[in-house]
Amino acid sequence: MAFTEPSTDALPRHPIIIDGKREEQGSGLVYPHVYPGTGKVTRELRMASAGDVDRSVAAARKAFPAWRAMPGDKRRDLMFRIAALLEAKSGEFAPSLISENGSVAMTAPYMGYDAAQKFRYFGGWCDKIHGRTIPMWGTPAHDYVSYEPYGVVGIIVPWNGPLFAATMVLAPALAAGNCIILKSPDLAPYSAMKLVEILHEAGLPDGVVNLVTGGADVGEAMVAHPGIDKIEFIGSGATAKKVLTSAAQSLKPVGLELGGKSAVIIFDDADLMLAAKKGLTGAISSNGQGCVNGTRLLVQRGVYDRYLQLIAAMAAQVKSGDPFDPSTILGPVISQGALDRISGMIDRGVTDGGRIVAGGARLDGAFAQGFFLPVTILADISNNCEIAQTEVFGPVLTVTPFDDEEEAITLANGTDYGLGAYVHTQNLRRAHHLAGTLQAGMIHVNGAGEAMQPNCPFGGFKKSGHGRLGGVEGLHEFLQPKNIWMSMAPPEGGQ
């Protein structure tokens, strides 16, 4: 099998875009980006520095008054033009998405379409942001609430889905009237670069969205910068603690979308074939590197063995291969370090009593230079062991049996995370009961991720973060309410 190497001609060349000007290099460190499919360098990028962050903030602050004052219908029409161009160019994102993190060609074009949907949805809100009046008592007065943008929002997105994450924040933040500093991740820089190029091609005013590609030092400069009014961080809990510590120095508000360890609960009355197909998506979606993926399979004992047989057989049919091949279902994980970490967790899961029923070992032969692991399923996992409690971020599923409904709820809620949960049952009473008792921000019944639409709120409980992206809740994340009270009492002179 021959693996396709990314064509550098198809990849964006501008890691810095400030005040509408594209720059082929920043003033920071040189970073060799590695393509996960072959382990080879795609391009060496000179990334942004703290000085580039300063320039981007200055541009955003300069652009903010005019952007904020733009009438809602004008901003709406611009958002719709952006959506139309993103949809028309959705296929052009594929080289960037595949090259940056090993996303597969089968799904890559959808990401551009998804980005278009977000701008189209939130564009529709631009001319509908309005306040409300509040009745007063005690004295004649008129009281009303208006909603205003924060100003400049710093957005830090992760390497596993930079385009998806960036547009999930950009669309509502722009609709609300904010200007943006977007940090593209060093491990996966290209799709965000392409996105900002398209925004300007659609007519976005200079300075409204500025791009700085970089590592942790750039993120730190953004969080600490006095000219950035709010931070939206999507990433790991460990990094989030550092973000919050830094933001606390200026009491800067921070929105967090963090990790997950989402349970998939399969009851004995479930459609087992559907539940196996949906359960398998936790190992396949984003090559298993998705925060909301259902990776803990909790299966009622009456169907436990049958379910294991079904999902193991399906896992054996998942084709790993060249991410540029349209028939490939599962691509590589992001790096050699990630592969080593995941393999170590699998080994410790076996030591803790787990039993491998699919996969388990790194792919060799034609795959040897890339970072490939097949779909791996560990059965008989105790809910207390590391691999059941810690986010793996790879194509790995664990399977744990349970006896009754209450035990399933206890197991599902028995982690520090609370991003998603998935329930498979034909019992409507049970479905509603679990939906009300599971500690997660997004519940799917007989599904797997279908509610990731832009009109649905997305976010987590517990250590999966706080705040919501998507829906009207996501719009209000980027608006501040202001209360105005006006006395209506007559002048004391009696006029």
Per-residue pLDDT of 431-470, as tens digits, reads 999 999 999 999 999 999 887 899 999 999 999 999 999 9
So what's the pLDDT on residue 495?
56
DSSP string, 96-126: HHHHHH---TTTHHHHHHHHHHHHHHHHTTT
Per-residue pLDDT, averaged over 263-267, amounts to 98
Crossing angle of helices 162-175 and 108-123, in 10° steps, is: 10
Range of weakest confidence among 81-95, 317-331, 479-493: 479-493
Per-residue pLDDT, averaged over 311-317, amounts to 97
Range of weakest confidence among 32-36, 97-101, 448-452: 448-452
So what's the pLDDT on residue 446?
97
What is the gyration radius of the CA atoms in the chain, in angstroms?
24
Asked if residue 494 has pLDDT above 80, the reply is no
So what's the pLDDT on residue 133?
96
So what's the pLDDT on residue 306?
98
Q: Which CATH number fits domain 262-445: 3.90.226.10, 3.90.230.10, 2.60.260.20, 3.40.309.10?
A: 3.40.309.10
Which residues face 355 on adjacent strands?
379
Task: Give the domain ranges of the chain.
Answer: 8-258+464-481, 262-445
Which residues face 417 on adjacent strands?
462
Per-residue pLDDT, averaged over 342-368, amounts to 96
So what's the pLDDT on residue 451?
78
So what's the pLDDT on residue 476?
97
Backbone angles phi, psi at 193, to 5 degrees: -60, -45
- For 2, 41, 165, the CA distances from 243, given in Å and listed in that order, are 42, 30, 17
Strands 294-300 and 396-402: parallel
Q: What is the pTM of this model?
A: 0.96
- Dihedral of CA 433/438/440/444: which sign? negative
How does the average pLDDT of the chain come out, rounded?
A: 96
Q: What percent of the chain has pLDDT over 70?
A: 99
Asked if 118 and 168 touch (Cβ cutoff 8 Å), the reply is yes
The rounded distance, in Å, linking the Cα atoms of 78 and 203 is 7
8-state DSSP, 35: E
pLDDT tens digits, 381-403? 999 999 999 999 999 999 999 99
Per-residue pLDDT, averaged over 1-8, amounts to 87
- For 87, 234, 256, 333, the CA distances from 475, given in Å and listed in that order, are 22, 17, 15, 33
Per-residue pLDDT, averaged over 329-336, amounts to 97
8-state DSSP, 303: G
So what's the pLDDT on residue 109?
87
Confidence of residue 492 (pLDDT cuts 50, 70, 90): confident
Asked if 452 and 121 touch (Cβ cutoff 8 Å), the reply is no
Which residues face 466 on adjacent strands?
256
So what's the pLDDT on residue 230?
98
Query: Residues with catalytic annotation?
Result: 257, 291
So what's the pLDDT on residue 452?
87
pLDDT tens digits, 175-205? 999 999 999 999 999 999 999 999 999 999 9
User: What is 8-258+464-481's CATH topology?
Assistant: Aldehyde Dehydrogenase; Chain A, domain 1 (3.40.605)
